[in-house]
């Protein structure tokens, strides 16, 4: 990797990795083809891998004492994730469990999860990177890759405006869990919270990584994202197999 890479080229290299964060089985979820039992498998693994402890991951990175502007961005993210203080006043893991309850799953279903082997491997990677002595590798893994999606390029290059209440509620009504699985919109505060804060988090993620990565670490950051993508795809393949979903 060229150590003299400009911030623009570096950002594009990160976005190229995120362009690949898509799994073929997503269409099954988006089209409402999953049974409740398949949804349970999916959400249990997601909860184990990152949802439950995402604020902890961020706190570990914050604890590595990155530059002050980065600490501020991380602190705001931690505050929102662990308290909902920037949106609806409840932590995101708590809102997730409320959404699961609306689907008919109890909190106990998420206390004793049996992780798939690929889930353990991916989770171990997230633990390792969030504890890495180079804070920027953890920040890239958690704030760009884990929080990000294949939609990052559009959001970063064409920033969206804050959404109105009406726009957020329209998103809720069109969500697969509401449309196909009968989930009450009253149980969708996690999605509302994401809609309220996520665009800002995406820009913060790229700001801290692109602008504060030393040139000597640019190659390591990109390699880290590529490794994250590889492990994520294996993890998603394992979840799909556990659900009994086959590719058409």
Evaluate whether 18 touches 204 at the Cβ level (below 8 Å): no
For every one of its 248 residues, what pLDDT tens digit does the chain have, with 9 covering 90 and above?
445 799 999 999 999 999 999 999 999 999 999 999 999 999 999 999 999 999 999 999 999 999 999 999 999 999 999 999 999 999 999 999 999 999 999 999 999 899 999 999 999 999 999 999 999 999 999 999 999 999 999 999 988 888 899 999 999 999 999 999 999 999 999 999 999 998 788 999 999 999 999 999 999 999 999 999 999 999 999 999 999 999 87
Please, what sign has the CA dihedral across residues 119, 94, 202, 72?
Answer: negative
State the pTM of this model.
0.94
DSSP 133: S
CA 158 vs CA 14, 152, 196: distances in Å: 16, 10, 17
């Amino acid at each position: 990797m060229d150590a003299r890479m400009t911030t623009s080229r570096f950002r594009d290299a990160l976005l190229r990795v995120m362009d690949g964060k898509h799994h073929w089985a997503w269409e099954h979820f988006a089209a409402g083809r999953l049974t409740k039992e398949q949804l349970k498998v999916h959400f249990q693994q997601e909860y184990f891998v990152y949802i439950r402890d995402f604020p902890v991951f961020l706190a570990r990175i914050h604890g590595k004492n990155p530059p002050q502007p980065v600490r501020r961005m991380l602190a705001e993210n931690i505050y929102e994730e662990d308290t909902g203080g920037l949106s609806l006043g409840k932590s995101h893991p708590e809102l997730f469990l409320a959404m699961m309850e609306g689907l008919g799953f109890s909190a106990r279903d998420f206390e004793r999860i049996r992780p798939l082997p690929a889930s353990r491997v991916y989770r171990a990677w997230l633990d390792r990177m969030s504890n890495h002595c180079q804070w920027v590798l953890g920040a890239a893994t958690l704030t760009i890759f884990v929080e990000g999606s294949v939609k990052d390029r559009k959001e970063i290059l064409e920033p969206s405006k804050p959404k109105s209440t009406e726009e957020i509620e329209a998103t809720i009504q069109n969500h697969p869990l509401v449309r196909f699985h009968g989930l009450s919109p009253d149980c969708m505060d996690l999605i509302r919270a994401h809609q309220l804060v996520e665009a800002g988090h995406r820009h913060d993620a790229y700001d801290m990584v692109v602008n504060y990565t030393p040139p000597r670490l640019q190659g390591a950051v990109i390699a880290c994202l590529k490794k994250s993508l590889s492990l994520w795809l294996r993890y998603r393949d394992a979840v799909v197999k556990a659900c009994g979903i086959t590719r058409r």
